Structures are given as C-alpha cells and as structure tokens.
Amino acid sequence: MTSAQRARGLMAAGDVRAQAAHWFTYLTSEKRAAHHTLIDYERDLSCFVEFLVDHLGGEATLKDLEALTVRDFRSFLANRRAQGLANRSTARTLSAIRSFFKFMERRKVLSNAALTTIRSPKIPHSIPKPLSPKAAKDVIAEAEVKEERDWVAARDVAILTLLYGCGLRVAEALNLNQTDTPLPKMLRFKGKGNKDRLVPTLPAASNAIAAYQALCPHGLSGDDPLFVGIRGKRLGQAQVQALMRTLRKRLGLPDTATPHALRHSFATHLLNAGGDLRTIQELLGHASLSTTQIYTEVDQARLLETYKKAHPRA
C-alpha cells in the first residue's frame, strides 16, 4: 500500500490527508519504519481524526488541528478510556499523533503547543516471562519431531534457534534473505534510530540454517527469502506464532510461551550466567539501559516467590 492510499482512507479534510501522505512517506523512506509500525500509525491517526469528526462536527482541516486545545486532547483521551482501551494502546496512539504534529511543525505547516502539555497515560510495569533453560531447549527439540516434512521441521528449528540462541526479534529472523547465508560470525541489524546492532551467531544457529537449506525443496537464491512457507513465499510472523501455540500445547507450557518469550529467555539466561547488563543491552538493541534492567527484576520476582514458598514465616 502506498502512502497516498494510506492517507486516502482518513476521515479528514483534503489538506490533512495530503500532509498524512507526506508523513507516511517520511516514515517509510527516512525513518525506515517497519510494516507493522506503519499499520499501527495509520490506525492511530485514523482513530484520532474519526474522533474529531464527532468532536468538531465535521472533518478536521489543518486550521482545525492547529486550533486544538488542551481540553480537546483531553476529551480524546477520555473518549478512549470510556471505550475501555488500555493505557498502553492509548500511549502508542498519542505517540503517533505527536509524531504527525511534529512532522508538520518541522515542515512549517502548523504548530500546536497544547499537545506538548499532554502527558501520556501511565503504563503498568510488566516483567518479561522467560522460559526455563530446559523448556526453551524442549521447544526446539519438539519442533524437530512434531513435523512430518523434514524440511519444514528443519526450518522451524532454525528459526527458533535464532530467537533463543541469538536473541533475534521474530521480524529480524524472518527478514533474512539467502544472501545473508552462510551466517557471518556477527549479524548486523538496523535498529531504532537507524543504529547498527551486532549480534554474534552461534554455531548451532549456522548449522541449523545449513541443515534447513539442504532440505528446502524450493530453488531459492540471491535476494530470495531465507525462511519460506509451503508455497515458497516468505514466512510471516503469524505462522511462527501458530507454531509456538502448537508447541506449548504439546509441552504443557503456559500461554506466555510465545516466540518473543524466547528472546526474553535469551536475555534472562545470559544474565543468570553472569552476563553484563550493558552487553545484553547491546545484543538486544535496547536504546535505554532501563529497558534491559527489567530482566534483573525477573530474578528478583523468582527469588521472592521461592522465599514465600520456603520460609516458614513468609
């Protein structure tokens, strides 16, 4: 979908849709936003302008956006609360709106000081739920035996090994192409803010990928995707999510055993083995150390739970 097509569906005046199209182009070409991020931002902006249709009595123009007051923005937040939407969702929507307004301000299209005074809703602090080392290994082992087609089993093992053994995000693993193999000793990824992130590759990951490529029936090369489905098209995140649902049911693992939980497990198990927080931050590609420090709370939470169970006066 093009930027113009994304903007065309907005319930806003033509001048707002035109700026939205420029914004989507900017997010795509300059910020290199991921596809799912673009979809989220499109949805967030759409929610906001649809609210303004009712709030203002018609489709908002650029002049209307510039004239919005603190009360208008607070009404939008109150409307979201009334719909029962989570604070995390509202915070992301507000972030998208701020990004759009800042973009227009940089282009000297409009300026709205009221938005800068609006605080994002508080987001409950959640602790990652990693798998135990045994459970993580069991997931990979189960993927190898559950599938009758050898090449599919080898593919699934390779993907899961990248998530747990290298701490990759699902999208990062699925975006790999044939030209990225054989894996170098260090994989380079472009993270948030266009910052490069280097990730060491384990022999287990390289070997798993080589085993998959040797069995894959599709004649793939060059810029073709590394991981493909039955029809030879690039594998999607939904298929990896479905794989983990199947595996956790077979192994009796909780619903928190998701593909991303393997990345959490990678970080937690490194920390437990004496890994340095700064190093783990770099491996995960976290912009802030405070994000990585959440993993120290996993151990604290587990320690407290053990104390409560074992101590006679707990």
Catalytic positions: 169, 192, 260, 263, 286, 295
Q: How far apart are CA 228 and CA 235, in angstroms?
A: 5
Q: How far apart are CA 95 and CA 48, in angstroms?
A: 12
Contact between 123 and 97 (Cβ < 8 Å): no
Q: How far apart are CA 300 and CA 181, in angstroms?
A: 39
Going by C-alpha positions, the residue among 149, 150, 178, 172 that lies closest to residue 159 is 172
Calculate the alpha carbon distances from 7 to 3, 95, 301 in Å.
6, 18, 45
Q: What angle (nearest 5°) sits at the alpha carbon of residue 142, between those of residues 137 and 148?
A: 150
Q: Which residues share a beta bridge with 186?
A: 200
Contact between 197 and 130 (Cβ < 8 Å): no
Q: How far apart are CA 162 and CA 182, in angstroms?
A: 14
Q: How far apart are CA 10 and CA 59, in angstroms?
A: 9
Contact between 192 and 286 (Cβ < 8 Å): no
Q: How far apart are CA 190 and CA 179, in angstroms?
A: 17
Helix (H) or strand (E) holding 108: none
Q: What is the DSSP string of 208-228?
A: HHHHHHHH--S---TTSBSSB
